[in-house]
Structure 1
């Protein structure tokens, strides 16, 4: 244990120190109060062992990997693991080429709580290594030219076509996303993440590097966590912009709290999450702990609900993750039909976007986020991508949905100099 005098300075040095390894993961709660997080931030670096697999038997391979090590492991689930869970496929363009599932056992692991840093894996001298670490001189962040995969007209046309499916009764809500991308982007990933985390600090932020591929995330959303025998999911549905005028900002917040359309979207996903958790729960233990909670972040107010259950002791915790994946907030309802229509109407493979990354502890507790508000970058091919989307319902206004996409993209566009 070591008390840190300058936490932000240590964080910055630790991030640059971790980036010298082929694999690293940084998870940061950005000082948000959270009853479920074990630590304020964690840094895992260098792989003692790693698991990389495609959407075939991936969850069973993860079970074996965890059973072999019974150690802290860090990793991610790509959205396209849906193809293993359901009879689905993905054939769209994928410029990023992330594995479908990836986990590693770190050689070094530092956890931070209440002003104190603790080395969980590795020699305690690595804290001194980090504090004396000198990264290379900072380069100026370049302005990256960003293109959109869909024009505004194409987006609106697709939203209206999806609303026809809702009218026909095929679905009653769908999360429809579009990609922003750059094909010759040269960025410093760590500096870019630091800039994003400064512009948009969020409770489930993180940076994940795996062999030249990066997730740079300012996500505000938790997918699923396990503490003891309790599973908790916190889906987000409902977004409103912030205002610099305090009175107006408060009025916007109250308007979101009482918005019937946003509440309807939120409650549909709450029902879907309750259904997903029921597959892993002790009978009768699924509860909605908070409905329509309003939480404020630098760019947006969000409506967040919290659903929990007791994990059935006969169900492996990794099966509990599988039973809830992909998260309902990023698919729609009914889930399988929504995912089929996502494949039909979206034009880019989601891959790690709307997947999840996080960690599993030696005693089987875990915490995983939802990969939204995130820059994805392949440093080998210089392909940069981020996607944004929203819930489409019968009540949706396609023009307003498009504006909401731009609002959600605003922090990333600002960081990339647009």
Structure 2
């Protein structure tokens, strides 16, 4: 797994974390959490993790896998008690408590799916009950590269849990250090100008998506929701996810860039929006709502036209519908943080700022507060999932409607990917501008915020604009792969 963080304004890198190899995989499917050892080093963790299992949870061992079965508990009416109720997230706490204690914090890297929300909220089952993505998936690192670009420091670490593995892992460390010390940057060159998204397929054509928007507007009109964010999925062949990821980073540099090889699927993306970010030292928890979109201004050749680009920014800043939608989501973020922050500490920063990316520009704001002393990063994530910019408002009713209107589970889309450490820090990005690749097919999901005065045709166009950066990157990677294969064939 690779997780890169960049400064939004300067585009300078802040931190890069790469799990070069893992020893334990933590998967959650509803009330079932599976802790799978991937090698003898991970196997050595199963006994202490078995002892760490909460008393109310059933723990069974089957070979190299621990199976924790969490009890079904009636939902609490009181919000504070709900936050403290036992849930599958407790498995992540117990793993970090078991691994932590050294001077250097231990971290986990992984994914929270959008559908984790159904563990905490009453959501109907989707029309298609098939599930491919777990509620969460995290990796315990064995070899870890951690780069602090601001301090200009890097560490390469090996985590030894099995007696007798020191020498083997020390050799792996030396080998990795030699490879990185002597490595020449192997970034792929940007593809030739004029590369466009290939012949992608979409699960809902423009007309069908527009009709869905119109039906959802009836729920807005009825007062069920103020805003809702339907989505659709674009799919395209992708034989080389890593090459497509590199192309995406070159073409659409974003504050968060990630690549996760989960074995049965790959997930990569370049996301403009953080999910929940928590700094344990300051106890500050932060959300970064993005809502309000315009395409970048380009000339006939596809180059940025500064005058047109500025005109589109002015149009975005003056659009009453976009401003209302954005402020609704800022208010939702403030409400989410009110559930977990100390009274009087919430504040809004960078109100209605414009961030630019390769294909679109967005209105953004930053909302922060000080986490309550009795809560931790996982409590904060539980209180805030899923981010309002991917759901709508009120959040629970919007998620219920999305389950009715969208055919199946969203999976990774709209969830969060990032890192959580034993010191209590959490840094996550919303999984958008991303592709989930299975069996050689990349699926790119994109949504649009719908309010009462939304224009259905324009909302369909917005989803395509959001997906284009990823679709174009995949097309460029496929073209580059074809040219490479042709060159090798001639050679």
Alignment partner of 1:208 is 2:208:
no
Task: Note the 1:7-406 alignment, pairs <5 A.
Answer: 25-30=1-6, 32-33=8-9, 39-56=14-31, 57-70=87-100, 71-93=106-128, 97-112=132-147, 113-114=149-150, 116-122=152-158, 125=174, 126-132=176-182, 145-182=199-236, 185-227=237-279, 228=281, 229-243=283-297, 244-378=304-438, 381-406=439-464
CA distance in 2, matches of 1:92, 1:100: 18
Q: Give the distance between the partners of 2:309 and 2:292, measured in 1 at CA.
A: 16
Aligned to 2:73: none
Q: CA deviation at 1:98?
A: 2.1
User: Could you tell me whether the CA contact under 8 Å between 1:357 and 1:371 is conserved in 2?
Assistant: yes
Secondary structure of the structure 1 residue equivalent to 2:448: strand
Q: Write the deviation string for residues 127-175 of structure 1: whole angstroms up to 9, x where unpaired.
A: 3223456999x9xx99864211112111111100100111111111001
Q: 1:336 to 1:32 in 2, by over 3 A?
A: closer
Structure 2 segments unaligned to the other structure (5+ residues): 32-86, 101-105, 159-169, 298-303, 477-491
> Number of residue pairs matched?
389
| Most deviating of 384-393 and 59-68 | 59-68
CA shift for structure 1 position 29 = 3.0
* Deviations, residues 199-221 of structure 1 (Å, cap 9, x unaligned): 11111111111124111101110
1:221-269 superposed Cα distances (whole Å, 9 cap, x missing partner): 0011011200010011011111211122122112212221111111111
Structure 1 counterpart of 2:78: none
- State the Cα distance separating 1:93 from its structure 2 match: 4.2
Cα distance per residue 1:42-80 (max 9 Å; x no partner): 212211222111132321222222222231111110000
Tell me the equivalent position of 1:19. Answer: none
Distance change >3 Å, CA 316–CA 294, structure 1 → 2: same
C-alpha RMSD of the superposition:
2.8
- Looking at structure 1, the residues matched to 461 and 129 of structure 2 have their Cα atoms a distance apart, in angstroms, of 25
Distance 1:104 1:346 in 2: 30
Q: Which moved more, 1:331-340 or 1:126-135?
A: 126-135
Contact 2:269–2:433 (8 Å) recurs in 1: yes
Write the distance in 2 (CA, Å) between the matches of 1:325 and 1:83. 10
Alpha-carbon distance in 2 for matches of 1:363, 1:38: 22
SS in 1 for 2:179: helix
Q: 1:270 to 1:186 in 2, by over 3 A?
A: closer
- Asked whether the 8 Å contact 1:96–1:377 carries over to 2, the reply is no
Structure 2 length-normalised TM: 0.74
Structure 2 Cα separation of the partners of residues 178 and 81 of structure 1: 19
Distance 1:117 1:127 in 2: 14
Contact 1:149 1:347 in 2 (8 A): no
Where 2:475 maps in the other structure, the secondary structure is coil
Report if aligned partners of 2:109, 2:419 keep a CA contact under 8 Å in 1. Answer: yes
* TM-score, structure 1 normalization: 0.86
Contact 1:96–1:383 at 8 Å: present in 2 too? no
Contact 1:92 1:347 in 2 (8 A): yes
Q: Residue 40 of structure 1: SS of its match in structure 2?
A: strand
Answer yes or no: is the 8 Å Cα contact 1:237–1:329 preserved in 2. Answer: yes
Distance in 2 (CA, whole Å) between partners of 1:74 and 1:34 is: 26
Work out the CA distance in 2 between the residues paired with 1:291 and 1:134: 41
CA contact (8 A) 2:256 2:270 kept: yes
Which residue in 2 is equivalent to 1:4?
none
Contact kept, 8 Å, 2:200 with 2:235, in 1: the verdict is yes
What SS class does the counterpart of residue 416 from structure 1 fall into? helix
CA contact under 8 A between 1:261 and 1:395: conserved in structure 2? yes
Q: Bigger shift: 66-75 or 38-47? A: 38-47
**Whole-angstrom CA distance in 2 between matches of 1:105 and 1:313:** 27
SS at match of 1:105: strand
CA distance in 2, matches of 1:29, 1:263: 28
Larger Rg computed on CA atoms: 2
Deviation digits for residues 349-393 of structure 1, max 9, x if unmatched? Answer: 201110000001331111100001101112xx3342111111000
